[in-house]
Amino acid sequence: MDRPPAYRLLILTTALLGALLAPTPSATAAADRRDEYERTTIEPTRAVRRGTGAQRSDGDARHGTLGVVSFNVYRKLSDRELRADLRRLTANRHVDVIGFQESDGLRGVLRGLPRGWRFWMSDRRTNSREVAIAWRTRHLDLRRARVAHMHPGIDGVTRRPGRWDYRFPARYTTRALFREKRSGAELRVLNTHVNHRTEAYYSGRPGVPYRNHNTRQARKHLRTLRAMVQDSAARYTVVTGDLNFDHVADRIKKPRGFVHDVLTPVAVSSFSSLGIRGVPPTNPESGRYIDYVMLKRGGPATFVRQKALGGYRSDHRPLLAVVALD
């Protein structure tokens, strides 16, 4: 039967809208991983009652709370866009200390931080500048900071039988020691950035490590970071960083040498402590949770809430974890 032109246009429009609004395979896979993850046990800290995800109030913290952020800034943003992101983040009254990744081009922008904020960045002319930190001076006083070299980089992309090695820079960790002014106690901040192209997510195998040089060096990086956490004698020890491995897939697959396997014995992440329900992925493009805030196990600090902050121009959402200081 011959349809009128208006009817044919309606059918075509409906088909186009259906194609545009249908979930992509990657989005569906990410949702499936999150559903599977939510069926696993959320690991509580003393701030969370087992099996409920309930959080205690900030008033229960003996020395108040501290807002810790991990933020991978986008290198290709203009200075104007970077300043706007930093103004937005530092204006958040819950934010007290920020661990940046990819901050090597931020020195000029960081010099324009508002009153009440300071920053530290390595003076070396190396990639160590990419793990800068900033803090609110009302609560924290920097005692000392330095960078630790985690492993060398490689300059180009090389292909070997059955695998690819992708270019990556030398990696570093900033080790900063603060005095927390309300309690007088020491706070150790370890801020880092682990290699990309370690999780075979883009090959359709989330939670499975690539067999390449990127992965071997990332495993070395995480082992060294674990030792730093273990060696910290500060009352409070926090880790911030883009670890480039999805938390959800990592908890399900538990690959050897990665975050759950290496760091879980010594530190707990806000994701593991509080769960991820209601928290959007920190890397929206891939739908993955790859930016972490972690606390050393056995210490008196506990997670009370977390949020992946929206409205930023960078390609990662800042992850804010609020910590109760006992």
> Which tokens belong to 112?
């324009």
> Which tokens belong to 297?
């196990």
CATH topology assigned to domain 21-48+56-325:
Deoxyribonuclease I; Chain A (3.60.10)
26: exposed, middle or buried (Cβ count in 10 Å: 0-12, 13-18, 19+): middle
- The pTM of the whole model exceeds 0.95: no
* Tens digit of pLDDT at every position of the chain (326 positions): 444 544 344 444 444 444 444 444 444 555 555 555 544 445 544 433 332 222 334 444 566 999 999 999 998 899 999 999 999 999 999 999 999 999 988 899 999 999 999 999 999 877 899 999 999 999 999 999 999 999 988 876 666 655 667 788 899 999 999 999 999 999 999 999 999 999 999 889 999 999 988 999 999 999 999 999 999 999 999 999 999 999 999 999 999 999 999 999 999 999 999 999 999 999 999 999 999 999 999 999 999 999 999 999 999 999 999 999 98
Q: What are the φ/ψ torsions at residue 205 (nearest 5 degrees)?
A: -130, 70
Residue type, 196: H
pLDDT at 57: 41
Parse the chain into domains and list their residue ranges. 21-48+56-325
Asked if 163 and 212 count as a contact pair (C-beta separation under 8 A), the reply is yes
Edge-first strand order for the sheet with 171-180 is 140-151, 171-180, 186-193, 236-242, 291-296, 267-269
pLDDT at 45: 47
Residue type, 259: V
Over its C-alpha atoms, the chain yields an Rg (Å, rounded) of 21
Dihedral sign for Cα atoms in the order 50, 54, 59, 61: positive
> Which tokens belong to 23?
């979930």
